[in-house]
């Protein structure tokens, strides 16, 4: 394998990245330090900007302040009349002006998910110090958009079905197809900022944003692009979706106490609270960030994904494949398990998910799980479906930068089967160097990302 260490200087970043990844694959079982201590800057992937539209805070600073304090963003549903629904609470982004964030041509179909995505993207780009109006043509071609979502424009789709059944086919909007096409979400961002790199949407249920960010990470590592606008968005607090989840028995009925309805890992949890929002990040090669003089906020080290191949909605009981996704991410990061300081959990507050995720963390981290703090963001925001992995990564990056563990709120009745350190109810100081963001989805999907705090290096 020595030829990998003495690559000719004319090799491009993509080739170097590929050979480094092959070398790590052959050495990953040792879980030792990287052979390449000084990894090529073009293949290192950093976070340079973040933007947020969330139920418990619009803007990344407001979002983080709410998370650090343990502030809930869940409340009664106002986006439609939920009178005949079993679940009447949700994590809505309240007071958000949709039209203020939509291009004029998009207002014809006024999609909430597009408005939230564009608003969060604008903040992330500004945070990264990128003015897309001043990009060169080469920069536009070297900037991609890879987003995760489960439902995208489902709200507009539900409206148009109602129009069809009540008023007939001639009253249906001509935008009903393009507006509800899941892939249109990334196209809206690409068109708004005239970005000509790949423009893709990943839709894998609750792991959508995690998988989108994993794909963005790999695309930069392989030298296909220099930067990617990534993350996830969701706006599915709509009657049909809510009714469907309720019929599955996965949503809470704790309507009388909305702020405490999302109760991950409690013995009396009775289902998740639907949420919406957009969490967008700028991933960039370290070489690109340094050329621009941008200060990274964190570094992405690894991504792992597996499938239980077990059931459409129930996770496999042993948690082995969910654990393996974490292990694969650690292997790619070349980190031993005891170097992880924090896990941002999926933590939906459903009976099976919480118990099996706890089991998976214990399997992946073995004895280290006894000392490993974890927390569940969804206790504060509710469950933003396909966007939740991006929400978890933003929260984790902020936690690392601030040296503060965000809490799992509403935790007052421990479940003996859920016995990790969930940072119950109040945050606490911690020196966080490495963390895992974990996600589990319907369809037996599991994904995990490993992130490192950025210290000047």
**Helical residues (DSSP H) of 168-311, grouped into ranges:** 176-180, 184-193, 208-221, 239-248, 286-292
Tokens found for residue 360:
């998976």
Just list the catalytic residues: 206, 346, 383
Tokens found for residue 72:
């809930």
- What number of other Cβ atoms are within 10 A of residue 240's Cβ? 14
Distance CA 255, CA 395 (A): 27
Q: Do 336 and 34 touch, CB atoms closer than 8 A?
A: no
Exposed/middle/buried for 309, CB within 10 Å: 0-12, 13-18, 19+?
exposed
Helix (H, G, I), strand (E, B) or coil at 309: coil
Helix (H, G, I), strand (E, B) or coil at 53: strand
The DSSP call for residue 175 is: T
Q: Do 241 and 274 touch, CB atoms closer than 8 A?
A: yes
The DSSP call for residue 44 is: -
Output the CA angle 123-393-14, nearest 5 degrees: 85
Distance CA 252, CA 275 (A): 12
Strand partners, 49: 282
Tokens found for residue 198:
């790949």
């Amino acid at each position: 394998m020595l030829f990998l260490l003495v690559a000719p200087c004319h090799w491009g970043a993509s080739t170097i990245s590929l050979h480094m990844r092959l070398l790590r694959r052959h050495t990953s079982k040792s879980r030792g330090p990287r052979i390449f201590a000084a990894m090529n800057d073009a293949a290192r992937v950093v976070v340079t900007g973040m933007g947020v539209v969330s139920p418990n805070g619009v803007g990344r600073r407001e979002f983080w302040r709410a998370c650090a304090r343990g502030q809930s963003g869940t409340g009664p549903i106002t986006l439609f009349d939920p009178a005949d629904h079993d679940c009447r609470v949700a994590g809505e982004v309240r007071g958000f002006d949709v039209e203020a964030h939509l291009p004029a041509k998009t207002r014809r179909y006024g999609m909430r998910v597009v408005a939230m995505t564009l608003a969060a993207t604008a903040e992330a780009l500004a945070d990264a110090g990128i003015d897309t109006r001043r990009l060169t043509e080469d920069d536009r071609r070297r900037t991609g958009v890879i987003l995760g979502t489960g439902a995208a424009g489902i709200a507009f789709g539900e409206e148009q079905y109602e129009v069809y059944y009540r008023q007939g086919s001639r009253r249906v909007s001509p935008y009903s197809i393009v507006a509800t096409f899941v892939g249109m979400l990334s196209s809206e961002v690409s068109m708004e900022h005239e970005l000509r790199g790949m423009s893709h949407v990943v839709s894998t249920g609750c792991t959508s944003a995690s998988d989108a960010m994993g794909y963005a990470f790999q695309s930069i590592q392989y030298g296909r692009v220099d930067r990617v606008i990534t993350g996830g968005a969701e706006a599915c607090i709509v009657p049909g979706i809510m009714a469907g989840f309720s019929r599955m028995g996965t949503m809470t009925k704790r309507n009388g106490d909305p702020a405490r309805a999302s109760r991950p890992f409690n013995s009396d949890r009775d289902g998740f609270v639907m949420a919406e929002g957009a969490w967008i990040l700028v991933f960039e090669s370290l070489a690109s960030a340094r050329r621009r003089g941008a200060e990274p906020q964190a570094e992405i080290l690894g991504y792992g994904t597996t499938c239980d191949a077990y059931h459409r909605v129930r996770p496999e009981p042993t948690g082995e494949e969910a654990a393996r996704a974490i292990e694969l991410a650690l292997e790619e990061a070349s980190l031993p398990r005891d170097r992880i300081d924090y896990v941002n959990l999926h933590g939906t507050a459903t009976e099976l998910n919480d118990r099996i995720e706890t089991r998976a963390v214990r399997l992946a981290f073995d004895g280290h799980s006894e000392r490993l703090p974890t927390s569940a963001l969804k206790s504060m925001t509710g469950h933003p479906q396909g966007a939740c992995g991006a929400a978890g990564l933003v929260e984790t990056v902020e936690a690392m930068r601030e040296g503060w563990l965000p809490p799992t709120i509403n935790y007052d009745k421990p479940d003996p089967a859920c016995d990790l350190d969930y940072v119950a109810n109040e945050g606490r100081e911690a020196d966080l160097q490495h963390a895992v963001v974990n996600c589990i989805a319907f369809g037996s999907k599991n994904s995990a990302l490993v992130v490192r705090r950025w210290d000047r290096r």
